[in-house]
Structure 1
């Protein structure tokens, strides 16, 4: 059974100990100044599992939203995978009630969903979770879906991207804000230990998910076996990842703005490519391909495309995932999706 709730939970920022009020204001500063979130009068839907991350997120958003005349809602999804999950759902609803935060609890048979969709359980759970969050966000009229990913999660994500062979700036980790999916990650540069201390000092309980220790899942192996080795070799590894994330966001924003200067449509004109550095051309190709829908443009294929353009192999066609093609023509490069 989850631990009991405290007799009372601070209702406002002013009721917090100064240390934790300052912490909450730091999260607000990250949202506003680094992620560009307008807090005034906005509503957040929190993905609330009842664990450390989402419990801390729920409370911090409550404090900073109310001072900005906004609102916070919670959605708890019971995946139906563990015997203790109904108790955790009840505890999540009880905590939200004690914190005066509206909460919706939904139970889904994720194992059955995984079978019907032909996915693994982890992937199916993620698919169901995000679909429900977006549906609830629309119903509530909230502007943002808030996720509890923190700096430790960012470090794991960077290592997993390294294992997959990601390039720059993707290797710098998950975005802090994803406008296309209405997602925001307020804790992305906050260590998990800070969240634990925050809840401990407020005497607010959280649930422990035993599956987080199951090393059959790659993310758990990275968390428990690989990441500690990096930290052992470099005690400042998490800080280094945070700096790399910031540099990655700057580069990503620069290239996005640079690519916005290209003419829209399937043709990447010769005049845009001539005189451009290879790094620019590679970004231009990727920008055009990404705009065509799903399918990751792999670096090796981008290099082949650039070689074909430099050698002016008119008529050469390079294939990309998602049934995308790039064809060298006298006017430049034409990008298509095969139908």
Structure 2
């Protein structure tokens, strides 16, 4: 027998928290929940337990049917108990339940990954399989505001550029991942569980200092919170500013890439200036929207960030002078980054992007800049060409080829 799960069954403070989550979803992902089933990733921990209960209460208002999904990582002897807890939670909330097991330790060894990376790979593969099998529209994850603050610091230490420094997106359409609690503090989720009398299970690995994220969580964030008790509020503001700038750069990048893909007029000069960024922005429809970056909660982003426009070509082999000539340095760097990334795996470093820009401004025809993943950019008279690196004996492994 299932317990009442609607807003009317909740204490007033908890019902208001749910309504705040609903407002956040309507702002950040209005089209994400437009049909059918919604997968809810549950681990038995406090965060995902709160997420499942909040979405169960909101389901009638959102017009979705939540389905609980759980992946056993096979890392701890108590993992079967987590599975049993999640199954019971789903039964209580009237949700269908799907579970699977993966040997994450074996995956880490076979693919040469750390346990965190292997676990993340296994989870997202499981989510993708579950979406396909259920026909669900999206999978909801329990990342909250404290996770976002940690993510921002991790990105800073790993060299992310702007606006990737703002942290993980609330809605990732490429992977169909939704984070309804992203601006909700963890303390509010704990209060929600306590006021509703909801149990959860603790994962001891969350306190293990061997993991970078745990060191950020337990050592760095408390120091920052002592300096500014509203540090989490500042993290939320940084995230909102990043989303605004992401949309801005997405529009300009999409327009520049569309211009780059347009055939040149026969009589046009190869160095003709493109519209300035200000002109391009004035010409852009104010309602234009583009996809969010394909980022995970712990990214490897190390260059200049910005969303990959949905209408960008699959591979960007050439950026003509008529586009680069009318772009600011900030836009040129993002165009280089997008072109390098379009050729396959391997994150471009910001320093290499700047070296490429210096070579372009100097019109150093023939100059080659190497990028991770066996890719290179070559300065030509008519623009910059991007392609897999050629096998040569005069490659400078510091990043330049002369």
Please indicate, yes or no, whether the TM-score normalized by the shorter chain is above 0.5: yes
**SS, match of residue 206 in structure 1:** coil
Q: Any unmatched runs of 5+ in structure 2?
A: 262-315, 391-402
Deviation of the 1:145 alpha carbon: 1.2
Match 2:94 to one of 85, 88, 100: 100
Measured in 2, the distance between the counterparts of 1:142 and 1:171 equals: 30
Q: Could you say which structure has the higher helix fraction?
A: 1
Q: Hey, what does 1:329 align to over in structure 2?
A: 380
Measured in 2, the distance between the counterparts of 1:310 and 1:54 equals: 51
Q: Which piece of structure 1 moves more, 140-149 or 284-293? A: 284-293
**SS, match of residue 181 in structure 1:** coil
Measured in 1, the distance between the counterparts of 2:106 and 2:373 equals: 28
Q: Hey, what does 2:353 align to over in structure 1?
A: 302
Deviation of the 1:177 alpha carbon: 1.3
Task: Give matches, 1:155-170, under 5 Å.
Answer: 155-170=149-164
Measured in 2, the distance between the counterparts of 1:24 and 1:197 equals: 13
Structure 1 length as normaliser, TM-score?
0.94
Root-mean-square deviation (CA, aligned residues, Å) is: 1.6
CA deviations on 1:278-310 (whole Å, 9 max, x unpaired) are 112112211222222221111100110010000
**SS, match of residue 68 in structure 2:** strand
Q: Hey, what does 2:344 align to over in structure 1?
A: 293
Q: Hey, what does 2:321 align to over in structure 1?
A: 270
| Count of residues in Structure 1 that have an aligned counterpart in Structure 2 | 333
Deviation of the 1:8 alpha carbon: 6.8
Measured in 2, the distance between the counterparts of 1:68 and 1:164 equals: 37
CA deviations on 1:51-95 (whole Å, 9 max, x unpaired) are 111111111112222223211111111212112111121111011
**2:28·2:171 contact (CA, 8 Å) conserved in 1?**
no
Task: Give matches, 1:40-189, under 5 Å.
Answer: 40-189=34-183
Measured in 2, the distance between the counterparts of 1:120 and 1:287 equals: 27
Flag as ranges the 4+ runs of structure 1 deviating above 4 A.
Answer: none
Asked if 1:206 corresponds to 2:200, the answer is yes
**1:42·1:65 contact (CA, 8 Å) conserved in 2?**
no
**SS, match of residue 327 in structure 1:** strand
Match 1:191 to one of 177, 185, 189: 185
Q: Which piece of structure 1 moves more, 198-207 or 118-127? A: 118-127
Measured in 1, the distance between the counterparts of 2:19 and 2:34 equals: 14
Deviation of the 1:188 alpha carbon: 0.7
Q: Any unmatched runs of 5+ in structure 1?
A: 1-6
